[in-house]
Amino acid sequence: MANVTVSPTEFHFVTFDAGEVARLVGEVADLVGLPDDLAIHVAIDETTPLGRTRIASLDPVSIEVEGGAFENAKAPRSLSERSVREVAGRLLLRAKDRMSPAFAEAPADEDLTLAQTVAWDAYAVGRAARAGIAVSKPRRLYHFRNRHGFNDVADAAFERLWAADALTWAELDAWCQETAAAKV
């Protein structure tokens, strides 16, 4: 299992357990096929109920999460195992992509368009689902349609992304361009 560290180690605003978060992220790292000796750090901002997430670095893999991303929507300030697994699956698969030559041409996260980000998320979450992580496909489809259009071309692109196992950045970007052309 990957070496996962979590900060802070003790929470004061939410009832999270750093050891539990580390265990869940480690399990997800195994499910998505990351190396056992990989160092992963999870930095949680417990002071905000918002849900932004990002990959802060790849060496070591470091992800930053606002507390709301890991919260149980029905029990605020409480940890949701499902949310931790889904967020970790999406981010760790995107990190794995970034470490692959197939995504060497991908722009930095801050340079991605919203459409590219949402498409990459659909690709990552689809693989997470096949790895055994519980995810919400309808949620991802809705996000995808909001950025790519509510039309047959966008729906077909989403299904191809969701079902794909080994894409390149060029293929993912080409599907974004295809959906953009269909919106005009």
Of the candidates 124, 112, 116, the one whose C-alpha atom is nearest the C-alpha of residue 164 is: 124
- 1 pLDDT tier (thresholds 50, 70, 90): confident
Across residues 126-139, what is the average pLDDT?
97
Whether 114 and 166 map to the same domain: the answer is yes
Across residues 95-111, what is the average pLDDT?
97
**Do the domain assignments include residue 112?**
yes
For the chain, what percentages of helix, strand and coil (3-state, to nearest 5) are there? 55, 15, 30
Whether 7 and 72 map to the same domain: the answer is yes
Say how far apart CA 181 and CA 1 lie, in whole Å.
43
Task: Find the distance separating the first CA and the last CA of the chain, reported in whole Å.
Answer: 47
Q: Which residue has the tokens 């979590």?
A: 6
**The domain containing residue 57 runs over which residues?**
3-80
pLDDT at 163: 98
Whether 24 and 73 map to the same domain: the answer is yes
Whether 178 and 142 map to the same domain: the answer is yes
**Do the domain assignments include residue 148?**
yes
Does 184 have pLDDT greater than 80? no
pLDDT at 61: 97
**Do the domain assignments include residue 90?**
no
Across residues 131-144, what is the average pLDDT?
97
Whether 110 and 48 map to the same domain: the answer is no
Write out pLDDT tens, residues 29-83. Answer: 999 999 999 999 999 999 999 999 999 999 999 999 999 999 999 999 999 999 9
**Do the domain assignments include residue 88?**
no
Q: Write b or e for each residue in 92-108: b if 16 or more Cβ atoms lie within 10 A of its Cβ, otherwise e.
A: bbbbbbbbeebbeebee
Sequence-distant (6+) residues with CB within 8 A of 118 are 143, 144, 146, 147, 148
Say how far apart CA 123 and CA 162 lie, in whole Å.
5
Domain count, the chain: 2
